[in-house]
Structure 1
Amino acid sequence: MYSIGQKIKNLRLQKGLTQEELGERTDLSKGYISQLEREISSPSIETLFHLLEVLGISPKDFFDEDTLNQKVVYGEEDVTTYADEEQGYHVTWLIPESNEKEMEPVLLTLAPGGAFKTYEPSGAETFVYVLAGNVTLTLGRQSFVAKQGETLYYKASEIHQLRNESTQETKVLVTATDSYL
């Protein structure tokens, strides 16, 4: 169970705010924010509600312990799969609703000669770890090949696609920010 001060600090950090920035947005001093977070001071109800408004959370959600119980471990029952036999790929979304989150981890299996979708340029950053086989990344006019145990990491700033140009099945773990997949 978190204290009010710890909850305020966690929310502030989730929003990427410094104590000084939160203080400026709430007309409170950096020192007072620090005292609240360290449980040296307690806010009035009015001050607490103003802090919560600035931090983007309702008082109900702030005090509801269930909102703090995020799911951390995901199993087979949580995955979603899709196969495109014609293009030669099978994709498994490892986290439900991952397209609503900041990262989208998937397990991608490419048949020999298989290719995943071609994506338009975006602001996404993409991490690809090769679990088995070889994968070819076409990024704009360049191609990069990674084999088992190697990693590709790139900004998706040009048209890009993952392909398996080998004669064996390829498995890769792909994690992308933004809305890559």
Structure 2
Amino acid sequence: MEQDYVNAQIGKRIRDLRNRKGLTQQELADRAELTKGFISQLERGQVSPSVVTLLDLIECLGTTASDFFKEAVEEQIVFTEEGFFEKVDEGGNSIQWIVPTAQKYQMEPLLVVMQPHQSLDEDKPHDGEEFGYVISGKLNVYLGDQVYHVKSGESFYYPAKRKHHIENPGNRPAKFIWVSTPPTF
């Protein structure tokens, strides 16, 4: 039973690679000096290739044995609240990492709820860029010696080469999406 599963997985990977390369079964068979019937049976998991034959097929398909046998990891596309990580600071400001594994990517989106008259810690100059979209409330964005006023429905974007920080000057909480690249939090 185990052998049938292995044969089916090998056959599926051969078929997927062949299709990605735009080859017919006959073209792959010709390159590997095999028959079309053998390729067909292999792709359906009905036969078990010898190690030499399998390595030859892998080479004909333009890949390596290590890449061929790597487990395909399903990349997560949708993230739900259950997976969010939240930090609440001393001022009651909530920062939620809305893509929990974002540190491995090139940008890190956060959902921030800032309490009235609160400020987030000042960031020192660093490589990268920062973007924000204000969902509700208003913010002051301090960039170097400049102050920019941003209200609900507006966005901000800046290279992070100067010291910067964000504050809520209003009497209500401010909610905004904040994206940094590369992730620095």
- State whether TM-score is above 0.5: yes
Paired residues in the alignment total 142
Superposed CA RMSD in Å reads 2.6
CA distance in 1, matches of 2:150, 2:16: 47
- Evaluate the alpha carbon distance shift between residue 5 and residue 133 of structure 1 in structure 2; reply closer, same or farther with a 3 A threshold: farther
TM-score, scaled relative to structure 2: 0.67
Q: Specify the alignment match of 2:162 in structure 1.
A: 158
Structure 2 CA distance, aligned partners of 1:126 and 1:73? 22
- Who is 2:87 aligned against? 82
- The aligned residue for residue 174 of structure 2 is 170
Distance 1:45 1:150, change over 3 A: same
| Structure (1 or 2) with the larger CA radius of gyration | 2
CA 1:4–1:151 in 2, change beyond 3 Å: closer, same or farther?
Answer: same
Structure 2 unaligned regions, length at least 5: 1-11, 32-56
Give the aligned residue type for 2:139. Answer: V
| Corresponding residue SS for 2:157 | strand
Question: In structure 2, which of residues 102, 105, 120 is the aligned counterpart of residue 101 of structure 1?
Answer: 105
What is the aligned counterpart of 1:117 among 113, 121, 141? Answer: 121
Superposed CA offset, 1:81-132 (max 9, x none)? 011133x421011011212221111101111111112111122111100000
Q: 2: CA distance between counterparts of 1:133 and 1:49? A: 54
Is the contact made by 1:124 and 1:180 (CA closer than 8 Å) also made in structure 2? no
Paired position in structure 1 for 2:150: 146
Determine what percentage of the aligned residue pairs are the same residue: 24
Distance 1:6 1:169, change over 3 A: farther
Distance in 1 (CA, whole Å) between partners of 2:109 and 2:98 is 6
The offset of 1:142, in angstroms, is 0.9
TM-score (structure 1 length as normaliser): 0.68
Give deviations 1:120-162, integer Å, cap 9, x for gaps.
1122111100000001111111111110000001111111111
Unpaired segments of 5 or more residues in structure 1? 8-35
Name 2:69's counterpart in structure 1: 60
Name the counterpart of 1:49. Answer: 63
2-side partners of 1:6 and 1:155: how far apart? 43
Shift of 1:166: 1.3
1:91 corresponds to = 95
Deviations 1:57-104, CA, capped at 9 Å, x for gaps: 83322xx3x42x211111111000011133x42101101121222111
Match 1:72 to one of 63, 77, 91: 77
Contact persistence 2:120–2:165 (CA under 8 A):
yes
